[in-house]
Amino acid sequence: MFQLRYHTSEDWTQTVIEHFDDFLIDHAAAEKKASGMAISMLSHYPDKPELVKAMIDLSIEEMTHFREVVKIMTNRGLMLAPDTKDAYVLQLRKLMRKGSLEYFLDRLVIAGVIEARGCERFGLVAEALPEGELKRFYIAITESESRHENLFIDLAIRYFPEQTVNSRLDEILDHEAQICSSLPIVAALH
């Protein structure tokens, strides 16, 4: 388990709670994209059976989360929105190095950091929501995201020396903190 170096502000949590419908729409998109990312990973690395199995399971879990968020949205009279670019993810992707091994390591580490950020923020949402079904849902989502961050770092350690993984994780965490601190506060996961 690693620690993020930027802690999301209370202003972000308050913005999400005040504009919760907007957050739900973004959350659905994030789950759909996460499922697609897992499919992409297993498609690009079919020669890594442990990764393939993990990404199959992850893609199903993320799509299940997507379905659950869409149910919540439907109950609130909301509809899905067209996908938009996620500035946070785009900036992290710029950190991916060229070269097949470096790129593979960076994909795993960055995915772990993204999941860690999701875990932190879903946890903040869960804490801020009043008792009830929605709060229980976000507690469960937080627990799931916690497993995902570890999944990606554990996979990285399976395929690369632990010191190499930790060194790159250290670099990515510094960049991620800078990215988070520079983004505007909006009712979105990132």
Query: Tokens 């998109």 map to which residue?
Result: 29
189 part of a folded domain: no
Let me know: does 12 contact 188? Beta carbons within 8 Å.
no
Cα torsion 153, 118, 6, 84: sign:
positive
Q: How confident is the model at residue 160 (pLDDT cuts 50, 70, 90)?
A: very high
96-120: average pLDDT:
96
> Residue 187 falls within a domain, yes or no?
no
Total domains in the fold of the chain: 1
Q: Give the domain range for residue 59.
A: 10-182
**What pLDDT digit, counting tens, does each position of 132-158 carry?**
999 999 999 999 988 888 999 999 999
Inside any domain, residue 50: yes
Q: Which two tokens stand for residue 69?
A: 């968020």
CATH number at residue 164: 1.20.1260.10
What mean pLDDT do residues 78-88 have?
A: 94
Q: CA–CA separation, 65 vs 34, rounded Å? A: 10
Question: Which is nearest to 128 in space by CA: 22, 18, 25, 13?
Answer: 13
Q: Is residue 155 part of a domain?
A: yes
Q: How far apart are CA 27 and CA 139, in angstroms?
A: 14
Establish if 188 belongs to a structural domain: no
56 located within any domain: yes
pLDDT value, residue 1: 72
Query: 33 lies in a domain?
Result: yes
The more confident residue out of 122 and 146 is 122
> How far is 118 from 189, CA to CA, in rounded Å?
7
Single-letter amino acid code for the residue at 97: R
Which positions ≥6 away from 96 have C-beta within 8 Å?
102, 103, 106, 107, 110
* Residue 4 belongs to some domain of the structure: no
Q: Cα–Cα distance between 90 and 179 in angstroms, integer?
A: 10
What's phi and psi for 25, nearest 5 deg? Answer: -60, -45
**Global pTM?**
0.95
